[in-house]
Structure 1
Amino acid sequence: MEMANTSILDLRNMEPARQEGNAPELEGFRFRVDEIFSKVDKLEQRVNEVEQFYLTTSKKQPSNSKSSSTVKEKDKEKHIPGTKKLQQEATRREAAAAKRMQELMRQFGTILRQITQHKWAWPFMQPVDVEGLGLHDYYEVIDRPMDFSTVKNQMEAKDGTGYKNVRDICADVRLVFENAMKYNDEKSDVHVMAKTLSAKFEEKWLQLLPKVIEEEKRREEEEVEARLNMQLAQEAAHARMARDLSTELYEVDMHLEELREMLVQKCRKMSTKEKRKLGVDLTRLSPENLSKALEIVAQNNPNFHATAEEVDLDIDAQSESTLWRLKFLVKDALEVKGKSSSIGGDDDTNNDKVAVATAAATTAKRKKDICDAIAKNAKKRSKKLSS
């Protein structure tokens, strides 16, 4: 993505030859460049999305996980259902699970009716009449009151506020007995009645519990499988997106290359004076920008080694495209350098001096080699002209 953006900026900055009547052509060219620029921005967003997805995925699971290896195999990818289909399956699965839970809750309702029909169940059928019985400390002892009528009403609720799980009903039934035994003395009738009914309830609950455990295990397995399938689907989708992005980026690069070549043909020739100034300005670049400049030269010169200890840079031997790219790299770099030096205070100036001194010490030889190479080529040309 960085190379694509750089190429576009190169195209935008190049100076076409100013010929009479070429304004419409120039505008058309600029429109095409802007169009590519917009497309590259969108592609960059999609690339960031893919990178972020795989970055997040790699943190959640080992790189040799089943899902990662599966997505990499293109033939298996065809068998992975899409995200939309998985969401539809999830909806159906949730509906089926809810229906099975309703059946368990219906069976629990049978147990509850058996308990509430017991002759000792009457103290627990309605909320405790705290004021009528004068139980002034009841709410200090009992944090959450509960009774069978409240449980029954919540089981029959149709507005979405009812129980969603049979274990929640079981917990509230137990709370009825626990509250009674907690507030009343062990020898009191209410305590004895609650303890007796609690034992009967637990006995019946144990008969239903295996079905509850089986349903919970099934639900957990389905959820694990659903999460895995969704992960596989997401990875497959992002793998397809990555392949599509690769193709689109390649097409953008090809289009940019076509535009660059077309523009080079339209560009005016750089004068000898401009070339000399460009050679001098190259020696003023920072180490980082100097490396960028040498990389630009290397792109159109396969035999040029940008990272070599010594380089022989012949400005006159460079193509017009390379010269214009170098010119605008130098122009932008020196403008940024000028702004930085003009807005810095005393402390900034001192820091800049230290940084410049350090950079100069590490790059002096490299800059000298470049200057010598440029000067040597200039002398060669002078001799040829004089002879």
Structure 2
Amino acid sequence: MDVADGRNFVVGDTVHTEVDGFRHQVDEIFLKVDRLEQNVNEIEQFYLTLKKKQPNGSKGSSIVKDKDKERHLPQLDIWSLYFCINFQISQHKWAWPFMQPVDVEGLGLHDYYEVIDKPMDFSTIKNQMEAKDGTGYKNVREICSDVRLVFKNAMKYNDERSDVHVMAKTLLAKFEEKWLQLLPKVTEEEKRREDEEAEALLDMQLAQEAAQAKMARDISNEIYEVDMQLEELRELVVQNCRKISTEEKRKLGAALTKLSPEDISKALEIVAENNPSFQATAEEVDLDIDAQSESTLWRLKFFVKDALEVHAKSSASTGGGNNQNHTNSNNINSNNKRKKEICDAIARTAKKKSKKPSS
């Protein structure tokens, strides 16, 4: 037996199996769509974040770096030069008071830690320079800062007329002189390292962009495949549906005239999807119900049924009636103009179909 609303498909016990099969396919498509939507959001977020973090540097900076590479001293050479400076200072005849940590208790310097916040000496510096556990100095500027601290602590705690103060001041001056000689090379090396880090960051960014672009292409292909699956599923469902009768077509045409202007536009879009030559937005629309495919007719039938039910519930909840519609008629006449034109077109088409040649 045929089922009036077309939602069941064939006669007998196989109907439930086929319906379950269709539902299973629809569920799988929904899962794919959800996953694709999540992937699209991730790509969109990536490019939004990328736009905010555009580097100011040019890709050509790496070319300049390569040309100037020979003029740069490797980091190892910079450290070697600095070790020489430290060695020269530590070998000075006045360096002995600063080679080991201050013997606070032995010398009875009870206020030493009240005056000095961070004690420092050359043995501590040497140990940290040789550290292999990651706690050592990261660059020569950190060592330079601690060497200065050794002498400044001595100058701060001891009276400026004391031997230790004079020795510290003298060695600090010698250290600063040698440091100024090394500073240009240090600055050059730091610039080189900054360029390398910027280039590495750019390479990583380009790799991420390439990965995201590939993902976008893959998603585009998957979306196309999902569209094809939906189209195939829709055609399969239509093939299992019974054909809409002439009486149902007549009722469908009449029901279309009851739709709101917005819903009429949506209905015309449904027609246009399967009929590229149909111009849903044209000034004059000639809709021939009999010329539409079974797929379009079933979609129109379900759409019209749902739209009219929603409209009926909305009217009931707002207390809509003839009096209220009459009161607001001046406000909705402009919206109904296109509706009237489309309804007239449907009526004209139906009239042509019903005319018979006179005998």
TM-score, normalised on structure 1? Answer: 0.69
User: Matched residues in 2 for 1:358 and 1:66: separation?
Assistant: 65
Assess, with a 3 A threshold, how the Cα gap between structure 1 residues 279 and 126 changes in structure 2: closer, same or farther. Answer: farther
Which structure features the higher share of helix residues? 1
Q: State the TM-score, normalizing by the size of structure 2.
A: 0.74
Q: Name the amino acid aligned to 2:349.
A: N
1:294-333 correspondence to structure 2 within 5 Å: 294-330=268-304
Alignment correspondent of 1:371:
343
| Aligned counterpart for 1:135 among listed residues 111, 115, 128 | 111
* Equivalent residue number for residue 28 of structure 1: 21
Question: 2:41 aligns to what?
Answer: 48
Please show how residues 143-292 of structure 1 align to structure 2 within 5 Å: 143-271=117-245, 272-273=247-248, 276=251, 279-280=254-255, 283-285=258-260, 287=262, 289-292=263-266
Q: Deviations over 1:189-217 (max 9, x none)?
A: 33322221111112332344344334323
Cα–Cα, structure 1 residues 279 and 316, in superposed 2: closer, same or farther, change >3 Å? farther
Superposition deviation, residue 128 in structure 1: 4.6
The separation in 2 between residues aligned to 1:166 and 1:34, in whole angstroms, is 63
8 A Cα contact 1:16 1:268, kept in partner = no
Contact 1:298 1:305 in 2 (8 A): yes
Counterpart residue type for residue 17 of structure 1:
F
Mapped contact 1:181–1:191 kept (Cα < 8 A): yes
Q: Does 1:19 align with 2:18?
A: no
Give the counterpart letter for 2:46 in structure 1: F
Alpha-carbon contact 2:267-2:300 (below 8 Å) kept: yes
> Does the 8 A contact of 1:278 with 1:327 survive in 2?
no
Q: Which amino acid aligns with 1:174?
A: R
- Matched with 2:63 is none
**Cα distance in structure 2, aligned partners of 1:53 and 1:34:** 29
Deviations 1:270-292 (A, max 9, x none): 343476257536743463x5433
Q: Which residue of 1 aligns with 2:66?
A: none
Q: Is the 8 A contact 1:314 1:374 kept in 2?
A: yes
**CA offsets, 1:31-63, max 9 Å, x none?**
33332332233233333333333343344449x
Q: Please say if residues 256 and 343 of structure 2, whose CA atoms lie closer than 8 Å, have aligned partners that are also in contact.
A: no
Task: State how far apart, in whole Å, the 2-side matches of 1:230 and 1:361 are.
Answer: 61
Inter-partner Cα distance in structure 1 for 2:152 and 2:308? 81
Pairing 1:71-150 to 2, within 5 Å after superposition: 101=75, 104-128=78-102, 132-135=108-111, 139=114, 142-150=116-124
* 1:133 aligned partner, one-letter code: L
5+ unaligned residues in a row in structure 1: which ranges?
Answer: 1-12, 68-99, 347-352
Q: Which of the pair has the greater relative contact order for Cα pairs under 8 Å at 6+ separation?
A: 1
Taking the aligned partners of 2:160 and 2:330, their CA distance within structure 1 comes to 86
- Separation in 1, partners of 2:240, 2:76: 77
8 Å Cα contact 2:269/2:280 also seen in 1: yes
Residue 304 of structure 1 and its aligned partner are, at CA, apart by 1.8
Q: What is the aligned residue count?
A: 329
- Higher mean displacement: 319-328 or 106-115: 106-115
Give the whole-Å Cα distance in 2 for the aligned partners of 1:213 and 1:148.
Answer: 24
CA separation of 1:197/1:41 partners in 2, compared to 1, >3 Å: closer, same or farther? same
Larger radius of gyration: 2
Equivalents in 2 of 1:127, 1:14: separation in Å? 94
Report the CA distance shift for 1:364/1:16 in structure 2 as closer, same or farther (over 3 A).
Answer: same
What code does the residue aligned with 1:35 have? E
Is the 1:275–1:316 Cα contact (8 Å) retained in structure 2?
A: no
Once the 2 structures are TM-superposed, how far is the Cα of residue 298 of structure 1 from its aligned partner?
Answer: 0.9
Change (3 A) 1:313 1:262: same
**Structure 1 120/291 Cα, relative in aligned 2: closer, same or farther at 3 Å?**
farther
Q: Distance in 2 between matches of 1:300 and 1:206?
A: 81
Q: Is the 8 A contact 1:283 1:370 kept in 2?
A: no
Quick one: distance in 1 between partners of 2:47 and 2:220?
A: 16
Give the distance between the partners of 2:207 and 2:198, measured in 1 at CA.
14
CA distance in 2, matches of 1:386, 1:266: 40
Matched letter for residue 38 of structure 2:
Q
Once superposed, what is the RMSD of the aligned Cα atoms? Answer: 3.9
Moved more, 22-31 or 328-337: 328-337
